[in-house]
Amino acid sequence: RRIIDKDEAVELLTATLPDLDGGEVRERLSSKKGFVWLKREITPLQQQEIRRLGIPGIGFLRENKRVYPTGNEVAHLIGLVNIDNQGIAGMEKWLDSNGLADLHRAGFATDRLQRPVELSVDLRVEHALRDELLKAKEKYKAKAASGLVSNVKTGEIVAMVSVPDFDPNSPKEAHDPDRINRLTTGVYEMGSTFKAFTLAMALDSGKADLNSMWDARGPLHYGKFTIHDDHALGRMINMKEVFHYSSNVGAARIALSQGVEAHKAFLRKLGQLDRLRTELPESASPIMPKRWSELNTVTIAFGHGMAVAPLTSEKMRFLMRLNAEIGTAKKADVKGYYIGGKTGTAEKVINGHYVKKRVLNAFTAILPADNPRYQILIMLDEPQPLKETFGFITSGWNAVPTGGSVIARIAPLLGIEPRFDLPPSDRLILAASRTTQ
């Protein structure tokens, strides 16, 4: 109201702040309101230049601005705030949604609530994981890459990375759909990594053991669907071979032997049918069949479509270690760290059809296999065939070596000492080698 010559004011302001829209500024200056914002978060230098213009009625309000010194490094975890310092993503949103900011403004926040928030994330591990994922994304020409490191004893997230990511200091980047946190908001078919759950279910039920035989002499025909193995053996195979050769047919027959309800109940017991339980508000629920039929049990058994006894755990650790020694996880078997792992390659559904050349690859590992302390997950979205991978795009050629590089870097940071005198898996994990009679 105190501005006499609005046209002159618009001309001077837009010359000083070129990103201002002249028409919008004129409209705001013509408002009957006693106060309007013209621009927020200007720099001290810009403030000084505007003062020199000598325009009456132009004033300044001091505001706090959130700055993120780690930039992209933990963007998906920390999240960001809007211009009013209200959390709109990540931990920022979770804290505000729990009323801490309101309590603080009202003067009711306790000293404990005003202390800096400490996360379970180890920035050293986060940095190493992100660095290796960026290298893998570029090397394998993948659409995206993501990874997770968790403490299996406590469930704490030690590191979580999804690239491409964003810089919370530049909030516009966060709205790009390619920069979502694929580990929390993405919903994927996880391929053969799900075989671990299928085999664990059978072992836990007591109806099967590591030497149980399964018919993999040919494809499994189920209605109009045919399930086949990429590396068909054409014979009866035991459970160790189902895991080692990643047999879809074997996994499907194991799941069928347990029944639909048992399969569903086991996955629910492991939390696989529930939304991820973390403080992060960006979390999707699994997509489940409306009617869970035998066909769903068959396909979920090998990772398409969807707390155990100590002895079951030991047998599964044996299978995962064996897979690192002689199976599809060999390229991640960093000497001295005795890992266990399982690979998975899932064809993506495009326009209602599975597409062979567009895959989501996953590799999950435990470290160390005889007494797991950490679990690692690596995912590559649509990696491309390379000369050095002999044209293959399956997980063992890209996600697994990426996992090996990650393990080599983070194991020392996690305080895991290398051991070079370990016996083979069948002697170290003793309970696993004693199959049920």
Question: What percent of the chain clears pLDDT 90, i.e. is strictly above it?
Answer: 25
Residues 6+ apart with CB under 8 A from 318: 210, 425, 426, 429, 432, 433
Quick one: 211 and 333 in the same domain?
A: yes
3-state secondary structure of 359: strand
Q: Among 114, 133, 149, where does a domain finish?
A: 114
Query: With contact defined as beta carbons under 8 Å apart, do 22 and 77 qualify?
Result: no
Single pTM value for the model = 0.74
- Pair 319, 299 in one domain: yes
The pLDDT confidence band at residue 276, using thresholds 50, 70 and 90, is low
Residue 292 pLDDT greater than 50, yes or no: no
Comparing 124 with 246, the larger pLDDT belongs to: 124
Check whether 155 has a pLDDT greater than 50: yes
State whether 79 and 152 are in the same domain.
Answer: no
pLDDT at 427: 54
Is residue 298 assigned to a domain? yes
Count up the domains in the chain and report the number. Answer: 3
Say yes or no: 225 and 315 in one domain: yes
Q: With a cut of 80, say whether residue 55 has pLDDT above it.
A: yes
Residue 59 lies in a domain: no
Structural domain includes residue 193: yes
Q: Are residues 359 and 261 in the same domain?
A: yes
Residue range 217-246: average pLDDT?
Answer: 82
Catalytic residues: 192
> Is the model more confident about 354 or about 333?
333
Same structural domain for residues 14 and 92?
no
Please say whether the beta carbons of 46 and 17 come within 8 A: yes
Does 153 map to a domain? yes
Let me know whether 110 and 128 are in one domain: no
Is residue 234 located within the same domain as residue 374?
A: yes
**pLDDT of 431:** 41
pLDDT: which is higher, 273 or 30: 30
Q: What average pLDDT does range 390-412 have in this prediction?
A: 95
The domain that holds 393 is classified in CATH as 3.40.710.10
DSSP secondary-structure letter at 313?
A: H
Domain containing residue 91: 71-114
Q: Is pLDDT at 340 greater than 80 in this prediction?
A: yes
| Structural domain includes residue 268 | yes
Over residues 201-225, mean pLDDT: 84
- Same-domain pairing of 108 and 186: no
Q: Is residue 1 part of a domain?
A: no
- Note whether 199 and 160 are same-domain residues: yes
If you search the block for the tokens 């890459």, which residue do you land on? 145
Residue at 101 is within a domain = yes
Are 202 and 306 in a shared domain?
Answer: yes
- Would 266 be classed as within a structural domain? yes
- Statement to judge: residues 401 and 307 lie in one domain: yes
The per-residue pLDDT for range 96-134, each reduced to its tens digit, is 776 565 556 655 555 555 567 788 899 999 999 999 999
- Nearest by Cα to 381 from 186, 196, 113, 101: 186
